[in-house]
């Protein structure tokens, strides 16, 4: 099923309505969809490198809107909608753990998990279930999702097809390393 979905998404990336499909996939990926939006964004960036910043902006905005939908599902419909989504992905306990982590670490969870391979839908559902404040949630989502999509856009715009393998296999590791450096810098400033 996932292979068929992957094939369909890459076909949509080449369609005349690709930007609209990018919006749909980015919104859905942040709340319910099983495949990352990068599968659509990367071919679109490669096909139209001069529109990289526009595509990254659209993807970021749509992903944040999808995150808001996930937050609402977690906050108000967790039992009837959120947990069935988590159960579908065999992530029931992961959602509960994230929800507990939100109570202790707040915005850091969004910043860290939004850059990792962990599906962002789990973060959005858990943030809503924890009733994490909406404005910090939106701000952190813009930062973390924007960082991911704009970095992809910058790399693909600069290097094109040769960087594709790196992005698909190692980008999450690079972003996680950047997060560690940022967190270390903040900790160092606080202790000085």
91-123 pLDDT, tens digit per residue, is 788 888 888 888 888 888 887 777 665 678 888
Q: How many residues does the chain have?
A: 192
Q: Is the pLDDT of residue 177 over 70?
A: no
Inter-residue contact 106 to 132 (CB < 8 Å): yes
The per-residue pLDDT for 1 is 53
186: which 2 tokens?
């903040």
Percent over 90 (pLDDT), the chain:
28
Q: Is the pLDDT of residue 139 over 70?
A: yes
Inter-residue contact 156 to 46 (CB < 8 Å): yes
Q: What is the pTM of this model?
A: 0.79
179-192 pLDDT, tens digit per residue, is 666 566 555 555 65
Contacts of residue 101, Cβ cutoff 8 Å, sequence gap at least 6 = 109, 126
Q: 3-class DSSP state for residue 91?
A: coil
Query: Average of pLDDT values for 40-56?
Result: 90
Which alpha helices (DSSP H) does 77-163 contain, by range?
83-88, 92-105, 107-113, 120-129, 134-159
Query: Average of pLDDT values for 53-75?
Result: 95
Inter-residue contact 1 to 35 (CB < 8 Å): no
**From CA 180, how far away is CA 37, in angstroms rounded?**
24
- How many C-beta neighbours within 10 Å does residue 154 have? 15
**From CA 114, how far away is CA 139, in angstroms rounded?**
12
Q: Which of 114, 168, 166 is nearest to 142 (CA)?
A: 114
- Name residue, tokens 């940022």: 182
**From CA 120, how far away is CA 126, in angstroms rounded?**
10
The per-residue pLDDT for 8 is 74
């Amino acid at each position: 099923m996932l292979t068929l979905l992957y094939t369909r998404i890459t076909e949509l990336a080449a369609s005349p309505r690709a930007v609209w499909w990018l919006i749909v996939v980015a919104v859905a990926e942040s709340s319910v969809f099983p495949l990352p939006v990068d599968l659509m964004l990367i071919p679109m960036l490669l096909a139209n490198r001069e529109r990289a910043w526009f595509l990254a902006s659209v993807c970021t905005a749509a992903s944040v809107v999808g995150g808001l939908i996930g937050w609402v599902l977690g906050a108000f419909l967790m039992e009837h909608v959120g947990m069935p989504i988590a159960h579908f992905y065999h992530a029931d306990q992961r959602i509960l753990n994230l929800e507990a982590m939100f109570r202790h670490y707040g915005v850091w969870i969004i910043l860290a998990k939004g850059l990792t391979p962990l599906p962002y839908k789990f973060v959005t559902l858990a943030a809503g279930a924890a009733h994490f404040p909406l404005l910090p949630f939106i701000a952190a989502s813009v930062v973390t999702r924007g960082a991911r999509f704009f970095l992809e856009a910058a790399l693909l715009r600069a290097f094109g097809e040769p960087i594709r393998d790196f992005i698909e296999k190692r980008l999450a590791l690079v972003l996680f390393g950047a997060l560690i450096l940022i967190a270390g810098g903040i900790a160092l400033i606080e202790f000085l």
